[in-house]
Amino acid sequence: MAEPSSIPALVALFAPYCGGVGQEQKLLTAVQVLAGGSTRGNRSLSDGGGHDYVLSWRGEPAPLQELDCELRFPDFPAVAYDFRVPSRELVEWLMDTAGQGLPDSFWGWLLRAGRTAVAT
């Protein structure tokens, strides 16, 4: 992914798509995660439990370019989600990350988009 020295340029590139200067700190944090190529978290469940996950991606970090993404659950190695998403959409989800997990908008998108788990 991107070199750390390119982070300011990526912030400027994504700003028009992701809330502009009013969201600069959240955007900076999200772009730093984007440059790292992956994030880990926990998908909270209504019963108070949750499932750890790893979301990773490959591709050009440009707002309209699609990234190849992989979602894995370490405790459930047979469950894997592979999908493509525009970089700007991933950055928006990373900006909305609360606590240890991706926002509900990501999980809803995953279900609405008809993504299915594939055995690995």
83 three-class SS: strand
Identify the H or E element spanning 92: helix 87-95
120 falls in which pLDDT band (50, 70, 90)?
A: very low
Which residue shows structure tokens 């990773």?
A: 56
What does the DSSP assignment read for 13-60? HHGGGTTGGGGHHHHHHHHHHHHHTEEEEEEE-TTS-EEEEEEEEES-
119 falls in which pLDDT band (50, 70, 90)?
A: very low
User: Which among 21, 22, 14 has a CA at the least distance from the CA of 93?
Assistant: 14
Which residue shows structure tokens 């978290």?
A: 41
| pTM (predicted TM-score) | 0.86
80 three-class SS: strand
35-80 confidence digits (pLDDT tens): 999 999 999 888 888 899 999 999 999 999 999 999 999 999 998 8
Determine the length of the chain.
120
- Under 8 Å between Cβ of 62 and 16: no
Task: Tell me how far apart the alpha carbons of residues 76 and 79 are, in angstroms, rounded to a whole number.
Answer: 6
Mean pLDDT, residues 94-106:
87
